[in-house]
Structure 1
Amino acid sequence: MKVALTGATGRVGHAIAAHLVAQGHQVTTLGRSALPGMAHVTWDLSQPPPDLTGQDALVHAAFAHVAGKYRGGEGDDPATFRALNLDGTLRLFQQARDVDVGRILFLSSRAVFDGYPAGTALPDGLPARADSLYGQLKAEAEAWLAAQTGLATASLRATGVYGPGAPGQPHKWADLFAGYAKGRTPPPRVGSEVHAGDLAAAVDLLLSAPAAALAPATFNVSDILLDQHDLLAAYADLTGITHPLPPRADPSQVSVMACDRLRALGWQPRGLAGLRPAIADLIA
């Protein structure tokens, strides 16, 4: 399949690119920087969309934000944040639709659920209720896609994503591990996570699934409920560090996403059993 991919130099987009190429797809990256061995078109969200004629699918994982932030990523310029991440996204989707790209996948976020009370169960298809500009823009882009008829679309509502950083970038836990190694004990925290490789596998699955399987358009993407106590315990065991661990956090305050739609299509993320090997890879 010929796949146009935005955001391929980010942590998530890079994992998607690598996975799709490994599975035999012909990937063209759309962004500021090329990746070795892949076709590339220089583009960003502020520009008119590139010509997507001949592409079988578009996977949109690009997002413009203040460095290190998604929620709150608008900084002090919400108007530009909206113009890039909603207007730019919709222009890209419209171009893909107009040249008959058959399938559009959008990397959304669990932030579309942030307006629900803490501890709310989050099944597939739950209506969006965002309380940040980031979540609102993701939800609006989802809604535009879902309204398209005669076009196979899906939005992946992804939770926190862990795994290797993109080339030249640290992984998401680099500062946490470095601080703990120096003897700093972080405060309690628990949250949901999915490995970037498992998110990439979900993208690949939705590229190949029958179009009818994509309705009704949104898919939760989450895997493990991870307490920072357990994360650092695994890190400590692998490194021989013996600093105090943070207390456990209250898991009842986490809104856990069910991923029944993806699992029904055969998605099998690595679970807690895959966490320790993943941490070992990050240390290496």
Structure 2
Amino acid sequence: MKVLVSGGTGLVGRYIVEELLSAGYQVIVGARHAPLPRFFSRPVDFTPLSLDPDENDIGAFDDAYFFVHAAFSHVAGKYRGGEGDDPKAFRRLNLDGTVKLFEEAKRAGTRRCIFISSRAAYGEHAPGTELFETTSSIPETLYGQVKLDAERALAHLCGPGFAGASLRATGIYGDHAPNKWDGLIDFYLTGQPVSPRAGTEVHGRDLGRAVRLMLETESTRISGETFNVSDIAVDTRDILSPIRQHVDCPFPLPEAADKTDLCAMNTRKIVALGWKPGGMPLFAQTMRHLAETKSTLRPSSTQV
């Protein structure tokens, strides 16, 4: 079956595309520009796709049995605060444009739509609060509000013949280049002090597996639903420790951050469907890979 993935060449979308390809799906990447040759491990199709709500993109769904919406327009490197100095355009593209794509998918006969949302939809809660899908959602950022409103729009469109689900993902890490932690690692390797900071993370591969689960589970179990997708809690010390071990780096690690105040997302709902994230073993494997990559790229301190 063919799956249309919007934003398939992005940092998040690439993991989703690769997971679907490995499972034998035919993938159509919807984006502004076609991927470069051999960008993915296997061949993909391409169709132009726009977040502009005034554009007609219904033709992109002609061959798509499923639709995964991962595209998002934002200032480079930012999601929260990604509106920059133009919140009106940010909302127009990421909410109005997203709803347009949901509606076009339904009209075209696409059977399922999976929306990549964010934990930002919950907003701020008291430190240490465990976040369930039923926890109140009061976003304090435009990013979170746009994600929440898009979730609700998709749920409203769901019905016979059109199943939709939203995945509230936490921070997404992985081993593709560029990597979300490249800046942090490079900053540390230049000797700059790094502040202790903790966060919740999920590997992009595990997010891809969550998407697959939404496509392969009986529609009545997922349609109109929201699912938390999160795995581990790590801090800057956890991230940089394997880098320091593999790279000739004399700089001290940051102090361990307090993780008890994190608001972890409860994932029992999606685990009950069969989702099994990689946990700390996958994190350790990924960090070894990143450390080895940095080690080969970084000249030894003994070289002149």
Percent of aligned pairs with the same residue? Answer: 42
Partner of 2:189: 181
C-alpha distance in 2 between matches for 1:89 and 1:127: 23
| 1:84 matches 2:90 | no
Partner of 2:159: 149
Whether the 8 Å contact between 2:198 and 2:257 is mirrored in structure 1 is yes
Whether the 8 Å contact between 1:125 and 1:219 is mirrored in structure 2 is no
C-alpha distance in 1 between matches for 2:21 and 2:88: 36
Whether the 8 Å contact between 1:73 and 1:134 is mirrored in structure 2 is yes
Partner of 1:214: 222
Deviations 1:199-257 (A, max 9, x none): 11111111111102204510101010001112211221232434211112221221100
Q: AA paired with 1:149?
A: G
Partner of 1:17: 17
Q: Where do 1:71-110 residues align within 5 Å?
A: 71-110=80-119
C-alpha distance in 2 between matches for 1:238 and 1:224: 23
Partner of 2:69: 60
Partner of 1:30: 30
Q: Give 3-state SS (helix, strand or coil) of 1:175's partner.
A: helix
Question: 10-19 vs 179-188, which deviates more?
Answer: 179-188
Partner of 1:44: 50
C-alpha distance in 2 between matches for 1:137 and 1:281: 35
Q: Which runs of 5+ in 2 are unaligned?
A: 38-42, 294-304
| 1:62 CA displacement | 0.1
| 1:244 matches 2:252 | yes
Whether the 8 Å contact between 1:163 and 1:282 is mirrored in structure 2 is no
Question: 64-73 vs 259-268, which deviates more?
Answer: 259-268
C-alpha distance in 2 between matches for 1:48 and 1:65: 21
Q: Give 3-state SS (helix, strand or coil) of 1:248's partner.
A: coil
| 1:38 CA displacement | 1.0
C-alpha distance in 1 between matches for 2:28 and 2:176: 21
Q: Which runs of 5+ in 1 are unaligned?
A: none
Whether the 8 Å contact between 1:32 and 1:42 is mirrored in structure 2 is yes
Whether the 8 Å contact between 1:58 and 1:103 is mirrored in structure 2 is yes
Q: AA paired with 2:106?
A: R
Q: AA paired with 1:71?
A: R
C-alpha distance in 2 between matches for 1:177 and 1:219: 31
Equivalent position to 1:160, from 138, 163, 171 = 171
C-alpha distance in 1 between matches for 2:284 and 2:201: 14
Partner of 2:302: none
C-alpha distance in 1 between matches for 2:11 and 2:270: 22
Number of matched pairs? 281
C-alpha distance in 1 between matches for 2:215 and 2:223: 13
| 1:59 CA displacement | 0.1
Between structure 1 and structure 2, the one with the greater Rg is 2
Per the normalisation by structure 1, the TM-score is 0.94
Question: 3-12 vs 29-38, which deviates more?
Answer: 29-38
CA RMSD of aligned residues (A): 1.5
Per the normalisation by structure 2, the TM-score is 0.88
